[in-house]
A = this chain, B = another copy of it.
């Protein structure tokens, strides 16, 4: 049976097989393909150039944006698992791209911040990331871009409520 075809009205086809799912038209699948491709293409770019993994880039990006943060807050903002953050932070600290300073008011956590070297790399990656994003959005009108962001927000809100509720 062709997609979109209908049974004669009033007839319930209890015994018919379910219509097969066309994967390439299935929104969750389409979203995931696109996002994976986008993410990996960008990651290849800065990975080749700076030897930075995705979690490491996210830590750099978060610290570049907010200045000083704890590992917990970095994870919260960039939605990374605390173990992922812990390892990315350890790697970046070893390469002296970030520093860890004690919080005397709470010795469990530590304040993290970019070093000068870290800031330098950050400021090299940011234009690369922006150029990539701009190039990606080339061909989308201003209206389409706004629409895309609205749609992402709506879907994100929806999936969050599906996951929890």
Given A39-B32, A162-B132, are A65 and B155 neighbors across the interface (CB < 8 Å)?
no
Query: What per-residue 1/0 map shows which CB atoms of A107-143 lie under 8 Å from chain B?
Result: 0000000000000000100110110110111111000
In whole Å, how far is A72's beta carbon from the nearest beta carbon of chain B? 17
Contact residues in B for A41 (Cβ distance below 8 Å): 159, 162-163
Instruction: Flag whether A154 is at the interface (Cβ < 8 A).
Output: yes
In whole Å, how far is A103's beta carbon from the nearest beta carbon of chain B? 23
Q: Is the CB of A23 within 8 A of B147?
A: no
Contact residues in B for A19 (Cβ distance below 8 Å): 126
Instruction: Flag whether A15 is at the interface (Cβ < 8 A).
Output: no
Instruction: Flag whether A160 is at the interface (Cβ < 8 A).
Output: yes
Task: Please give 12 more A-B residue pairs, beta carbons under 8 A apart, in addition to A28-B132, A33-B156, A37-B156.
Answer: A20-B64, A20-B65, A23-B61, A24-B77, A27-B133, A31-B38, A31-B152, A32-B35, A34-B152, A135-B162, A139-B158, A144-B151
